[in-house]
Chains A and B, each alone.
Chain A
């Protein structure tokens, strides 16, 4: 068996590139969040460190690194450290199956801008997302603090509840596309138009659920300051706290990428195939289009955060179980009926 060194090199470069980009995007999301918050509240936001405050994330990161590490006396030290590490790892793992672009041709080799085009891409994302709750649960429990424990229990039940509606809304999409591979879903949209046109209700459900999965306002019950002080990361300091906060932003980035790929055509854009440019250039333009979509979604996440107040816990559960799941089921039924009708006629 000969080992294809070019293939291995390509994957290593791609993995490190995607990791670096998701970290940088997450870093600048913190800056963007503060800027958006400022602008929406008639303020300026960070403007001291560098031009327009662009060095602010570096300053924050440096601060977090040099803060004192505090591990509570009666806590389980191993689990206490495992919590934020798991949160961070799980957040970084999802990006593997997202198609960041079409193929590039470099020196005769065709390079796909997707780390792994597995035929179960969407299920993989589900699997990883369902593991995301462990970081929060372990951290909250190991803190040996009742507020953290309450927050982690809230987070766990919230994520499990909304995962169901999320999966059901996706099943409708999968019935339509007939594939679990994200790459194929994007390629279909390249020819047939964006899925959001055919699945508006499914997209809405998926959007709401991804807010809940990312623990973002209005579903940030796990870090409700007014009730739980700091939530699950109450006892954390230094870079361990930084990991938790960072993981949230990476999750936001990934779910924005996912929503763009599933419902908004991913790296394809209207008129992509009729430009008549070199294929490599079209690929790069497609990746740029994907990132523009992602940035729009990130802005939307922030915009919602600074508009809508937090739900009460019973409202959250009622929305998840009594509204989202029946709606998703109805959406699935209608889609199934239409797909069946189409295939028989």
Chain B
């Protein structure tokens, strides 16, 4: 049979020679290999003090973005929910009333916006689908929770703080 890759190795099915059949030599070889590992570099990351760095393309928890004046970008078009392969996103749209221009950038906004982090696969399709630059994936992950409900993130969990709130904090 032709090998698919150049790395394929033919299995040696010859009967064992006497030296091989007493295994002692093979055991010694194995012992030498494990002994050499004593001086190998340790792979452990000492977690609370050290943290493993995220890769540059890491996709973590979502945020809902605001514009420079602190207004929500999202217009509740639903493209993210359509793009989501895991169907983790639900939303309810509402119309912007007079006097709410400082809250929402567009005439339509998301009254309710929920992402189920247990369903989400963090593929980033929502980020790509969004025409208003409203949703982004960050470099954090969802913390542990005792209940399933805790993993359904609402608008208040997702929205980034307004510039005014940021100054206070």
Contacts and interface: CB of A to CB of B under 8 A. Distances in A.
A215 to B, nearest CB: 19
A39 B44 CA distance: 10
Nearest to B27: A308
A44 B44 contact: yes
Contacts of B31: 303-304, 307
A306 interface: yes
Given A307-B30, A308-B30, A40 B37 contact: yes
Q: Is the interface of A mostly helix, strand, loop or mixed?
A: loop
B40 interface: yes
A227 to B, nearest CB: 22
A41 interface: yes
A67 interface: no
A303 B36 CA distance: 11
Nearest to B39: A39
B20 interface: no
B30 A42 contact: no
A345 interface: no
A306 B30 CA distance: 10
Interface in A15-62: 39-44, 47
Interface in B11-52: 27, 30-31, 33-35, 37-38, 40-44, 46
B34 A306 contact: yes
Q: Which of A40, A303, A306 has the most C-beta atoms of chain B within 10 angstroms of its own C-beta?
A: A40
A303 B42 contact: no
B34 A42 contact: no
A285 B119 CA distance: 66
Contacts of A41: 37
Interface string B129-160: 00000000000000000000000000000000
Given A303-B35, A306-B34, A307-B34, A42 B27 contact: no
Interface string A293-312: 00000000001101110000
A217 to B, nearest CB: 12
A310 to B, nearest CB: 13
A312 to B, nearest CB: 13
Given A43-B43, A308-B27, A303 B37 contact: no
A276 B33 CA distance: 42
A112 to B, nearest CB: 38
Contact of A42 (B33, B42, B46): B42
B29 to A, nearest CB: 10
B34 A43 contact: no
A162 B40 CA distance: 36
A42 B40 contact: yes
Contacts of A44: 42, 44, 46
A39 B37 contact: yes
A39 B38 contact: yes
A108 B31 CA distance: 50
A304 B30 CA distance: 9
A168 B21 CA distance: 24
A307 B29 CA distance: 10
Given A307-B30, A308-B27, A308-B30, A42 B35 contact: no
Contact of A40 (B27, B34, B44, B46): B34
Contacts of B30: 307-308
A39 B38 CA distance: 5
Interface in A202-254: none
A321 B33 CA distance: 30
A166 to B, nearest CB: 19
B20 to A, nearest CB: 15
A304 B28 CA distance: 10
A13 B149 CA distance: 63
Given A303-B34, A307-B34, A43 B42 contact: yes
B92 to A, nearest CB: 48
Contacts of A40: 34-35, 37-38
Interface in A122-159: none
Nearest to B22: A323
Contacts of A47: 46
B33 to A, nearest CB: 8
5 contacts: A40-B34, A43-B44, A44-B44, A303-B31, A307-B27
Interface of B: 27, 30-31, 33-35, 37-38, 40-44, 46
The 10 closest A-B pairs by CB, nearest first: A307-B34, A44-B44, A40-B34, A307-B30, A42-B43, A42-B40, A40-B37, A43-B44, A307-B31, A39-B38
Given A307-B27, A308-B27, 17 more contacts: A39-B37, A39-B42, A40-B38, A41-B37, A42-B40, A42-B41, A42-B43, A43-B42, A43-B43, A44-B44, A47-B46, A303-B31, A303-B34, A303-B35, A304-B31, A307-B34, A308-B30
